[in-house]
Amino acid sequence: MTIMLDPLVTAETWAREGRSVAIATVMETWGSAPRPAGSHLVIDGEGNFEGSVSGGCVEGAVITEALDVITSGAPKMLDFGVADETAWRVGLSCGGRIRVYVEKLN
């Protein structure tokens, strides 16, 4: 049995350990979306992560973008959805759309 920790508690712990951390938050969803608005995924500079903002390849894309946010310090708003030509690749072929905000924890 896997116990999922609160991602925000994990982010705080990692930051106290001196790790660089980004927080991804689901801001909006439309149609079929696996995680509701307010869901979090935290990512450290090594690519470790806790939590979830979606499923499938969306998580991988968010982690990649989060690593860029950690490096640059500039937040990003990410949109994934069926209208996007990458929808099939990121796992949203059911017609859902999500907007995810990624920011570096300071």
**No. of H helices and E strands in the chain?**
3, 5
The band of 80, judged by pLDDT with boundaries at 50, 70 and 90, is confident
Strand pairing category for 49-51 and 21-30:
unpaired
User: Which amino acid belongs to residue 89?
Assistant: R
Alpha-carbon distance of 23 to 40, in angstroms, equals: 7
Q: Is residue 83's pLDDT more than 60? A: no
pTM listed for this prediction: 0.84
Contact 24, 102 (CB under 8 A): yes
Please give the structure tokens belonging to residue 57.
């390849």
Alpha-carbon distance of 34 to 1, in angstroms, equals: 21
Q: What integer is the mean pLDDT of 29-33?
A: 82
Q: What integer is the mean pLDDT of 54-60?
A: 83
Task: Quote the pLDDT of residue 70.
Answer: 98
